[in-house]
Structure 1
Amino acid sequence: MSVPLYQLSEQQPTVWQPTTVEEALILKRKWGENSVLVSGGTWLRTRWENGLSSPPQHLISLGRIPALSGLTLDGQGHVHIGPALCLADVMENQMMKQRCGLLVQACSEIAAPSVRNLASIGGNVMTRTGDLIPVLLVMNAQVVVSDGQKERVLWLEEWLQDLNYSSFEVMTRIVVPGQVSAQMNDAGQTPTELRNTDAEHSFYLKVGRREAFTPSVVTVAGRIRIEADGTVAAIALSAGGGSAVPSRFTELEDALAGKLLIKEVLQILHKGVSDSFDAVADDYAGAAYRKMTAANLIVSECYKAWRKGGGAGASRS
């Protein structure tokens, strides 16, 4: 069983360093609401410093649990990311650059290098408002959580909407279907999933004031593939930012499938994003501004993708 790493002053929490998920959850059950599971701790620290929440009596660090810091590729090409990996580790990993380039880009646009050396990918997701979530949503990511005895697998969007999520569970993996970069395989051939890559477009955009380490105003992500005839073959769109819980625009995606992105369709998309985005107003921006910004960014990127893919009917735009 773990022992305290050190005992801080009376007003400060005791820090524990378990070496297994099971041990971490034993400690969590022991201390209950008087404890917090923590990895990098950058988000929690800002909340404590800003008076949004009080430091707990016990901090249960996940940093010394090897199983939470792995990065592997399974036989189906799915990337398994340990939630305790810091953003800098994700950015510097060659496999991540080759298979999850959009996620690497998103990591590079979060906070400052010093923060990215501490902040974990799992911590960003656990906030439920993190800037990585829109990217993970359009990449159809899953999360794996454990209660110390058994694991359960959920789609990220399902997990975000789970209002009964237990605080006595630990996220053990984030599973992402990897997107391979355009390069030859060992046989000197382009992998099947890379053919016609000019017709596929991915994007991640953020409007914010990160130089002051404040929440982003709007964060959007998307993936879109255009057929040779200019119609939308596949599309995934999401938005978040500030205190909003990011989400996919699944109804809009279904409506766009098989369509040409002419002016009338783009207008429908703009209105749909603006109406559907559950933006939250704060001291930095109002909900209406966030909705408009998200809609503008997404429509602009979809139009770019359409033109890149051939833009059939573009003269009508």
Structure 2
Amino acid sequence: MAISPVARTRASIVASIIFTWWVASLLPHFKTATTSSVAPRFPSIKARWGHDTRYNASKLAIIVDPEPNPLLVPLILHMMAVVPPDWRFLFVGSRESVFSVGRGFGIQVQRSLGRIHLKVLPKPWSFEDDQHRSALWTDLRFYHDVMPKVEWMLKFDRDSILCSNSETSLNDWLDWSWVGAARYGAFRTLFGAPVATSLTRKGNRSDDGFSAHGGLSLRRVSVVKRVLEFQKWYNDSAPEDDWFAKRLQPLPGVKVLSGFHKAFAVENKVVDRPMGYYAPDRGRRLDSEVWSVPETRRKIFEYCPELRYVMDMKLERERCPEDDKRGKAKA
């Protein structure tokens, strides 16, 4: 009796299904055997997810600024180029300044790489005035909440700059507990030439030899926490950097930079080839007795041309004919 084409088709389908099930039942055993024989030939690999793995969690460069200033993006990108590549960056600001900085293309690239994080300043802290900013840096909660794993903190602001021509690295200063800008002195040299420096003390800032100015400073966070665990800053007291200076120096085991060591940063005490400069209020609050000397300015700007980023400057052709290049009229 002949088998119809329809019956043959149905039989083929049934046979195919049975064969498929049989092959499928063998696959788990085959996969296990194959994996067992091949796995020893490959090295052990551990995946490390996230971009932050290339950076050192204990090193943080931080800038706090509430104003959406166009200078901030180029300043931060320059600092990223000068600071060693294992350092992370944190920008803390208002909603407006965080939005403004975050729009910069270079900042967006660095954020995608995990090197910089932008953060709106959380409550209860405020930027309202110098008193509130000092309260921020002297609040133990700020260090616990915002930078819990940080041991070294580079604090900078829009009035400070690190020089690309510096022969020292930021990592060369990690043995110190606190290094900042030296403020005043009687006589120093600049690139081998004698330079008179200021004897004035603007703003009642003390000159005890401690290079403590906080506008551009490297701080060991564990030491800062030691101070804050038994000392409390009160409103209308000294600025936070002066306040810390008085408490750090007598602390046992603390290594602080004085004006007689190598220079980390310069404000009004002029020294050879510092790591950077601090020019408060875009240079308007620098001591004219130091910075009005044309030869001094020329040598400083040749060594650290980036200082022009943070100083209020004008073109030479804008100078008045009567200007003696020291900020005064010719006699």
TM-score range, shorter chain: under 0.3
Question: Normalized per residue, which structure has more strand?
Answer: 1
Relative contact order (alpha carbons < 8 A, sep ≥ 6): 1 or 2 greater?
2
Q: TM-score, normalised by structure 1?
A: 0.28
Larger gyration radius, structure 1 or structure 2: 2
